[in-house]
Structure 1
Amino acid sequence: MNNVRGGCVRVMILTADYAPGSWSGIGVAVERQARALASLGIETHVLVANRAIDMPGASGTGPHVHQLSRQRCPVDPRQFDVVHLHSLALSELAEELRRRFDLPLVYTAHSLLRLELQESADAGLWCAVQERILTISDGVVFLSRAERLAAVAGAPELATRSYVIPNGVPAPPDSLPPPEEEGPIVFAGRFARSKGVELLGQLIPRVLARWPGRFVLAGGHGDTAGTRIVQNIAAQFPGACRVPGWLNRNDLDALFAASAVVLVPS
């Protein structure tokens, strides 16, 4: 894929999380995005602001991964066509790259903070940072239609430069052994209002009233309201609703394989 100069399109991705050094949802999503862009022939450079991360080298046409430092930028910004920001902690760098080198800025809002951090002491600071980036970005990606609609309601000008691209999940294997018994309905993710936990809390009693099955709510690290909803549901249906916390990759894959339905919010 070529740019207007006739050369290969070059994309710079800014993130604080990147797999395999971080298996957070953002880290995994960014790594998949980088690989997908590279597979399209786009020269993709990922700048990671995490000193503890194990930096994988580029293989073949794969993405190039660089360690960000405070001393210098590991790449020449003048050689790029676009900057894609994933982590608000790097918002000042993204804004500076846009201003100084006239690079279009795309921002992926992995959550809408004014909805998610309502009860946090740091809410005001980070919400202001996000609002600034939403204002100056040339394109904004939301993970769900609901979050995009909520953002556009507060800033109508976003309607013409925002899009919905949910996080992808790997394709399932061609064949899986059938579970020995009817599996549970699984919710896997953070217990936050932005992840649909309020709706989940309303659905579980209705489903259990008609279906004598089980729910597994795997995850955590949500907001206060979302965590309270999950705790109340688990207490209300102790024999039918299990909350195991965060699971490692093998246990999670095994749970998914044995489940009847899997709900994974973006």
Structure 2
Amino acid sequence: MLSWEYPPVVVGGLGRHVHALATSLAQIGHQVTVVTRHAPGAPLEEFSQGVRIVRAPEDPPLFPLSTPTLLAWTMAFNHTLTRAALRAAETYTFDVVHAHDWLVTHTAVTLAEHLDLPLVATIHATEAGRHQGWLPDDLNRSIHSVEYWLGKRAGKVLVCSEYMKWEVSRLLELPDDKVDVIPNGVDSKAWRATATAVRKARERFEAKGPLVGFAGRLVYEKGVQDLVDAVPQLRAEHPGLKVVIAGDGPYKEELQEAVRRHRITSTVAFTGFLSERELPAMLAATSATVVPSLYEPFGMVALEAASAGAPLAVASTGGLAEIVEPGVTGMTFPHSDPGALADAVGTLLAEPKLAKEMTKRASAMIAERYGWQGIAEKVVAAYGEAIRAEPAHRAARLGEPREPIVVPDGNLLR
């Protein structure tokens, strides 16, 4: 299994997904090796929770992991990741290579071809999707071309929602039977905070009245700007309101400027990144957790917040629309509509009994649909399909020249 993030390196939901999947596969009897990037202080190789973890140290020259140098960083990272993966293959025999997102594509293809193994790819999000269907510059078009290559090269492509199946099939021109929908999961127990931790979270954020929360990367597509724009209405209707924005990202300064512009600095608190110990308590302390994304392939934070016991108000977009049933397991609103967001959150704050009933139904839904063991078993079934199909896939691949990838000019999702 190849991933650019794995604990202790956790940038977003992908790292938590790969960790949970790898350990769940190990628990049901499979031998799993995860090859990932090194983190300061972490061993280069270890066994943890039944998983062999091989970490690739960064090569010089050192490129910062930022947008202007992202492609250079990715190419350098794939060089060291490939060497680490090939070393891991010297002592283990693998049946399948599983790549997570475009950042590990070059290593995944090299490993699959060098070891003559089937390739399975999980595509967690797409570059065009993150930009509402557009590929505005060379960097975006380059990333899309790598995603396209990964999708074509893989024998089986996994996505987390029906929405993502539609998006990936359309963008990468994949046949319907090549793409399987296997949802993300959540370990509900890990998201249950103690009553003492919840009380301390409310004290930390000086919550005298309702507490509204957001958790995630501070980027435009997460829609935090719409939550900020909704705060004046919510504060007028709910005295003592406090809004907590947990996370970090390149959009933070603009969000803080919007808070100053609305004159709500005493109401909105930016916490930065919260640890896996702090975040469940913060979510559990909220009277409503908001997921206002413009683009959301799945919506892992909705499962995590509901597992923590938080009432949900989510944008009815992407995978979120498949998780939350309006008025049953949470409130929904159209994305990019601060007024509708304020109304949805306001319902949860004004009707705590209704909010509690929705939270109970959401918890039952999660237990039924999103347990990791069942998800791991579905992934194993997809591995089996890829292994059985590999001879035909290999023959077709060798018999056809690689066509150049032409990126259309315009909105790819229209």
TM-score normalized by structure 2? Answer: 0.50
User: Which residue of structure 2 lines up, in the alignment, with residue 218 of structure 1?
Assistant: 246
Q: Do structure 1's residue 262 and structure 2's residue 251 form an aligned pair?
A: no
> Which protein has greater RCO, CA pairs closer than 8 Å, 6+ apart?
2
What is the 5 A alignment of 1:73-112? 73-76=87-90, 79-112=93-126
Alignment of 1:170-181 (within 5 A): 170-171=188-189, 172-173=191-192, 176-177=195-196, 179=199
Whole-angstrom CA distance in 2 between matches of 1:153 and 1:119? 18
How many Å separate the matches in 1 of 2:39 and 2:16? 17
CA distance in 2, matches of 1:14, 1:50: 13
Q: Which one of 159, 163, 185 corresponds to residue 142 of structure 1?
A: 159
- Report the counterpart of residue 128 of structure 2 in structure 1: 114
Number of the residue aligned with 1:7: none
Q: Distance in 2 between matches of 1:138 and 1:227?
A: 42
Deviation at 1:14, TM superposition (A): 0.8
Deviation at 1:227, TM superposition (A): 7.0
* One-letter amino acid of the structure 2 residue matched with residue 135 of structure 1: K
Instruction: String of CA shifts for 1:191-249, please: whole Å, max 9, x gaps.
Output: 23444547656765665564443321211325x6x974675356424343332332344
Deviates further, 227-236 or 96-105: 227-236
More helix by share: 2
Segments of 5+ residues of structure 2 without an aligned counterpart are 57-79, 203-207, 292-298, 301-414
Please give the secondary structure, in 2, of the residue aligned with 1:190. coil
Q: Please give the alpha-carbon distance, in whole angstroms, between the structure 2 residues aligned to 1:166 and 1:108.
A: 11
Q: How far 1:66 moved relative to its partner?
A: 1.9
Matches of 1:219 and 1:130 in 2, distance apart?
Answer: 27
- Say whether residues 1:23 and 2:41 are aligned partners: no
CA contact under 8 A between 1:115 and 1:194: conserved in structure 2? no
1:40 Cα deviation after fit: 0.9
Tell me the secondary structure at the aligned position of residue 152 of structure 1: helix
Q: Which amino acid aligns with 2:46?
A: G
> Could you say which residue in structure 2 is the equivalent of 1:232?
258
Identity %: 21
Alignment length, in residue pairs?
250
User: 1:36: how far off?
Assistant: 0.9
1:166 alignment partner in structure 2: 184
- Where 2:98 maps in the other structure, the secondary structure is strand
What secondary structure, in the 3-state scheme, does the structure 2 residue paired with 1:232 have?
helix
What are the Cα deviations for residues 160-218 of structure 1, in whole angstroms up to 9, with x where unaligned? 31324235354233853464765512111112344454765676566556444332121
CA contact 2:209–2:242 (8 Å) conserved in 1: no
Runs in 1 of length 4+ with deviation above 6 angstroms?
none
Q: Is the 8 A contact 1:134 1:140 kept in 2?
A: yes
Query: Would the aligned equivalents of 1:219 and 1:245 in 2 still touch at CA under 8 Å?
Result: yes
2:239 pairs with 1:252: no
RMSD: 3.6
Matches of residues 180-195 of structure 1 in structure 2 within 5 Å?
182-195=209-222
Q: Deviations over 1:32-83 (max 9, x none)?
A: 2211110011111111233646136325x70111234537432249822221
Change (3 A) 1:198 1:163: farther
Name the CA distance, whole Å, in 1 between partners of 2:4 and 2:136: 24
Match of 1:129 in 2: 146
- TM-superposed CA distance for 1:119, in Å, is 6.0
Alpha-carbon distance between aligned partners in 1 of 2:185 and 2:166, rounded to the nearest angstrom: 18
